[in-house]
Amino acid sequence: MREEFRSLDESLLPAVVEIERASNASPWSENSFRAEIGSSEGEFLVLLSGGIPVGFGGYWAVVDEAHITNIAVAPEHRRRGFGRRIMEELLRRAAQRGLVCSTLEVRASNHPAVRLYESLGYQTVARRRRYYPDNQEDALVLWLYDLTPWKT
Ligand SMILES: CC(C)(COP(=O)(O)OP(=O)(O)OC[C@H]1O[C@@H](n2cnc3c(N)ncnc32)[C@H](O)[C@@H]1OP(=O)(O)O)[C@@H](O)C(=O)NCCC(=O)NCCS
C-alpha cells in the first residue's frame, strides 16, 4: 500500500478530527487543528496509506526544541508501524530544520505511547501530578536530548 505524508490542510481536517475523537479522552477541537495549517512555527503531518488518512502528528519549534503536540493513529490501523513512522518523520524534519532536542508530555497510564517514545530514545525525566483536568491523571515529561542522528 502506498504511503505518503501530507501537511495538514482544510481537506484533511474532517478525517483528522475523526481520528482525534476516537483516540483522545480530551480531544483537540477542529479549530485547534485548523490553527496548525500552514504554521511556520512547526509542522503538522497526516500519514495516508492507500490514499486513506491513518494517523497524524505535529510539533512546535520552541527555540531549539521540537515539542511534540499531538500524535494519533486511527484505532483500526494501530500496531502496524504507522505511529513509529509518524514520529520518525517528525524527528527527521525537526532535525533538518536545525532543532537539537525534543520533548513531549504523555499520560502516565498511556503505556503504548510511552513504549513508542522510549523505543525512539526519549527518557522520562519528570512527573507532573494531576496534570490532566479530565481525570486528574499525572503527566510524564519525556525528553530526547540529541536529534543529530535524525539529520540523515
Ligand atoms: C500511541 C499510538 C500513536 C501508537 O501508534 P501505532 O501505530 O499503534 O504504533 P506502532 O504500530 O508504530 O508501534 C510502535 C511501538 O509502540 C509501542 N506500542 C504501540 N502500541 C502498543 C500497545 N498497545 N502496547 C504496548 N506497546 C505498544 C511498541 O513499542 C511498538 O513497537 P513494536 O510494534 O515493535 O512492539 C496509538 O496507540 C494511538 O494513537 N494512541 C491513542 C492516541 C495517543 O495516545 N497518542 C499519544 C498521546 S501523548
Q: Cell numbers 503505556 correspond to what residue?
A: 111
From residue 22, alpha-carbon distances to 67, 89, 136 in Å are: 23, 23, 20
Q: How far is the CA of 33 from the centre of ligand 1 (A)?
A: 21
CATH superfamily of 3-150: Gcn5-related N-acetyltransferase (GNAT) (3.40.630.30)
Q: Which atom of ligand 1 is nearest to the CA of 72?
A: 39
Q: Is the dihedral of CA 33, 105, 138, 112 positive or negative?
A: positive
pLDDT in tens, 53-92: 999 999 999 999 999 999 999 999 999 999 999 999 999 9
How many CB atoms within 10 Å of residue 2? 7
Question: What is the chain's mean pLDDT, rounded?
Answer: 97
Q: How far is the CA of 131 from the centre of ligand 1 (A)?
A: 22
Q: How far is the CA of 86 from the centre of ligand 1 (A)?
A: 11
Q: Rounded mean pLDDT of 116-129?
A: 98
Question: Does the pLDDT value for residue 140 go beyond 90?
Answer: yes
Asked if residue 128 has its Cβ within 6 Å of ligand 1, the reply is: no
Q: How far apart are CA 2 and CA 18, in angstroms?
A: 22
Q: Three-state SS for 30?
A: helix
From residue 82, alpha-carbon distances to 3, 72, 87, 101, 146 in Å are: 10, 9, 9, 22, 23
pLDDT class of 152 with cuts at 50, 70, 90: confident
Q: Rounded mean pLDDT of 27-51?
A: 96
* Proportion of the chain above pLDDT 90, given as a percent: 98
